[in-house]
A and B are shown apart, each in its own frame.
Chain A
Amino acid sequence: MSELVGYIVSGLVTGAVFAVMASGLTLSYAATGVFNFAHGAVGFLAALLFFELNVGFGLPAWLAGLIAVLVFSPLLGYVLHRVMFRGLAQAGETAQIVGTIGLTIALPALGLWIVDLTAEPLGLPRADATSLPRGLGPYPPVNVTVAGVTLDSDQLLTFFFAVLAAAGLWAFMRHTPYGLRMRASVDRRRLATLRGIDADASSAMAWMLSSTLAGLAGVLAVPTLGLDPTAFTVMLFVSATAAVFGRLRSIPVTFAAGLGLGVVQNLVAGYADFAEDVTGLRTAVPVILLFAGLILLNRSGERVAGSAAEDAPPPDYLADLPVWRRRLPWVVGLTLLLGWTLTRPADDFYVSVVAQGLVLALIFCSFVVVTGIGGMVNLAQASFASMAALTCGWAFSAGLPFPVAILLGVLGATAVGVLVALPALRLGGRILTLATLALALLADQVLFQVDAFSNGTIGWPLPAFGLGFADTTDPRVRVVLLLALIGLVALLVRNLERSASGRAILAVRSAPAAATTSGVSAPRTKIMLFALASGIAGLGGVLFASFKGSVTATDLPAMAGFVWLAVVVLQGVRRIGGAVLGGLIAAIFPELLATWHVSAHVGAILFGTGGMILAKHPDGVLAQMAEARYRRRRRRLERARAAEIQAEAAATARAGVTERAGVTERAGVTEAEAVSNGAGPPPGGGSTTGASPGGGDAAGADAASPMRAVAGTSEDSADGGALFRLENVVAGYGDVTVLRGVDLSVRPGEVVALLGANGAGKSTTCAVAAGDLPVTAGRVLLDGVDVTSWPAHRRAREGVLLAPEGRGVFPGLTVEENLRTWLSDPDPVYERMPQLAGRRGIAAGALSGGEQQLLTLAPALVRPPRVLIADEPSLGLAPLVAERVFEVFAELRDRGVALVLVEEKATSALELADRVAFMSLGRVIWTGPRAEVDETRLTAAYLGVSR
């Protein structure tokens, strides 16, 4: 019994390191959406620095620890945020996973390389297996007996610092403005920026904190782990288990799970003797738990297919080129390669390197199927290849003919692929990736350790392929054979993409629910993808082994799968070309480095920097080349188009003024004017079609073109006193232009009601005004200052507040915290709105709709902004509540706030408004005092009906 207590106490102490590491992982994931596989590598770098400062430069341990954890780690986090994570957050899942995996390899290599370079001149100790770093505590450690368990000073310090870090983190997140901003950004990133919170700065803060935690864990763990980057990566996997049990959201649960893992490991080591016969089973306990946690806790609700719209394929930038021109580079490359190969001698070293590259390329083709086409990131590909090779070797050694053995191998890999696909049916996204990782590690640690299967460390011998006239002991034969096979796979992939199955895959990938309702079986599609991909990987694995002459369980380790994925994605995972290029690079590049006597670390570092490229160009090098060509042309086009729209808007406005002078409002005349100005709608298009000259879009359904005739101003020419104005703004989403030259101004103490039918561009106007959407052309002015280039959070800080459509609250934060995002002291709000005071500790998401809207606007009452833009404030509210909301607006107006009120329901807005602007088809078509608004205008504005 005392033994059990001992295991638990001691396990809690060692679990503290996992807890610290896992908390950082959860923190950065929750705050930025990037799951950082390099978290362990950051810990390693901090530990390395600590070791060199302490042992190399002779600094006292506490000082070295302080520098490594509190100075270096946050700095590293910040730098990584700037150069990589910031871009990755927008780059889609595959790029995120690959980018951080690249870092896992590059960061330790960078550290070790620097140590290698500086060790000699500075007399530093080298960081290898013989280096024995010390802990933060006394050295050698002092033993203390706690509750009958002997612990050393390092262990106690570890526990102390872990608890300190947990308490500090909790206090930081709950009780400082920084923590509040970070949580607000996590809760609703867009809203946070509208409240003046720099979400980017919050992300930077999250990365710095997370990195500090990793650094702390690294320094605490280094006396037990040693300076071994692999050990730190293993620790990351264990920590990931804890993070998964915290559902990658809850830091307290993560922390507790980390402590629990320490205990579980001790209990398994102490009592699970029955597992002795299965080699690796006990090593694999964290992995098994990881897998179980993923399956049980993390069923992803909305994104089961493994990807989402953000992973949408890039447009085909070369679509305008003829087929022969698109294929030319590949044909030339292939011809050169074949020509070169066939003129080399049979035992040429470089031909065998190329052959090796092509084997890898064949295996990489499986990534094209499962990741490029299927959108699922699979880290177990090396295990499939290994599985096939080992099965083939086992069958061949058992006396089966070689062709049968090959078939068995490929079938074996396919079977495993189907097994891996089973969790994929439930899981999606990063969770699926982690699950494949867990399975890959399980295969490595348990399945391939079965001696009967892998023949121990010696493995199985495999013969060469014979083709009758030649066999594959000649590398030239290998090159030709592989090129043929890759060609076949390419054909297969092309046909797959064009077939009904290909459409089914795309359907499941982009909209699983819709696919299901359309009768596409998502499970069948996914299983097929995995089976196909693992079959290809298996064939590659068998060839790899046959060319090598033998296969062992360690030839294709799970870790290789990571590197492979990274190499392929760097080149472009959506096309076979990327796989071929990736394979060749993976084989040839290290050879070149070795020939030039460059440190292998440099290769690893270069490879990691690939991650930074991905942060900017998620679709890889190949796509980037095509894209660069396209972008240059497109940018010119875009500018030209925006200028055209502006000119047209200006012309229309002039036309309107002319008309006002004539006090006639006849549509035909205006259009004629516009046309004669050369910028109007094409003649003969009719009033409806002519409404969208630029190839109209968002507002297309609105047929209000006659209203253009009334585009006039009553007093806006005299808006010298305007506090905030939009000038001829053109803006839109992607290729779709929504605002087509919007002019709008508002003065202090004035309410401008912006009215218009659904789709007129009102919300887009709000977004542009608040800085949430960049403009293509035109200006935004605040008090005469051009604020067009200011980001949303800066505009908010200068007093431009947008209450967005729907409810502008952070549902995950309490009422009190919601108020604190805009106010330093929320008490005045409670005085004004006692019903909120009673609910200050309740999550805002639990409030009623009316209360939420009041909560949105209440802070503005206490600290009035200079400009308040309210987008549909009465939407979905009971009439009484809506009334109260409008009372708030009235009060704000009296206090000098410039108000822009966007409403679809015009009546109440009109009661309040001083001035009214009608929008239609992305333009303000009429502005005037409320008095001039009559039913006719309203009807026309909303229904597009002319008199």
Chain B
Amino acid sequence: MSDVLSHYLQEHERRYPEGTGDRLGELRQSALQEFRNLGFPTRRQENWKYTDVRKLCKHEFRINDDVVDLPAGRIESLPIARPDCHELVFVNGRYSPAHSRADKLAAGIIVTDLAAALNQQPELVSDHIARYSDTASSGFTALNTAFLQQGSVISLAAGAVLDKPVHLIHINTQQQQPYSGQLRNLILLGDNSEGTVIESYFGLDDAVYFTNSVCEIRLDPGSRLQHYRIQQESSNSFHLGHTTVRLQKDSRYESSVVSLGAELSRTDLNCRLEQSGAVCVLNGLYMVNGQQHTDHHIRVDHTVEATTSTQNYRGILDEQGRAVFNGKVVVHKGADKTDARQSNANLLLSDKAEVDTKPELEIYADDVKCSHGATVGQLDKNMLFYLRSRGIDEHTARSLLTFAFAGEIIRNIHMASIRERLEQLVLGRLPDAETIREFTHE
């Protein structure tokens, strides 16, 4: 066994010396076994063909249990979009009650951290946890389940409507020893319920850490979820995010994924449309520069008749940044009247950047409407010419067009405060931010 595997096994031993016990203990134990078998993925696996995690395996990340409190006002000073929300704050992968605030919730709504839920609503957790995400799907998911303790539970009873969004804020600080947060979120929406969940990940300074987050979502008939995932991890960090969504009849899932940070990030999003009328709308934007590597894997399964999915992902790559996109649509036998659209566009700004994209279709039904498109290229020469002919210098014209390219995704974000914050973040990454601000805000 490799050193890195035995490190995590030791970590597990250290934390859970009692071995198996209750159902949760058994779950952790079997997941650990799974992790021992799977190990970390290698590039020989098709799903990891373009992403090499050996760098992550070089570190021995300590699974963090320590509660770290941030100085007052520290969170407020960070460039994180913070609309009026119920907030659960996690510092270094551990829930921080001091920073969190969940205002009074209507009946039938549970918003709590996972550790508390394990005590107070054990059956709710055990009925659903590890049911939707396949622990065996990758070593990272198995590792996450093996250390299942931190995270959050959001549960809406039938007909419940969240009065304001739930914001899961993850802040990571610099520590002596590299550490890891293993986070597990469970989001359950009952019939016709409705809510918005925001996940923010933020790293301070040059903190070295590894976030491994798994999110399981179940949408009952007629429910609607808006899900934002904004990743601004530190430039020395590793971010693994795995989201699984199960959609029942006429439910709707809208997701916006924005990946800006981390040295290496990998985001998986699996949606399973299990009953007719289910709709998922998946948008994403990734920006890399320096030596960053980002990887987005999406899989949408249309298992029954009359379901709809759209995917629209865009990437901007600068310097030596590298991006991987893999979008897969599977239309199962009998899933007629499926409408699936997929699009991935990439903008390469530097001659050292690289993009690897693979939009896949696997179709086993004949009465379907499926299309996909992928493009890789630079800014349109005609557009540049148009702007230049109006007296805008080339530099500014390039930045403007790049901003507009990202705008296609940002525009679709419903929540104004998040949209504006993201605009600022994208702008901040472009040269001539001030000039563009002048152009775009009259």
Asked whether A and B interact, the reply is no
Name B residues whose Cβ lies closer than 8 Å to a Cβ of A: none
Name A residues whose Cβ lies closer than 8 Å to a Cβ of B: none
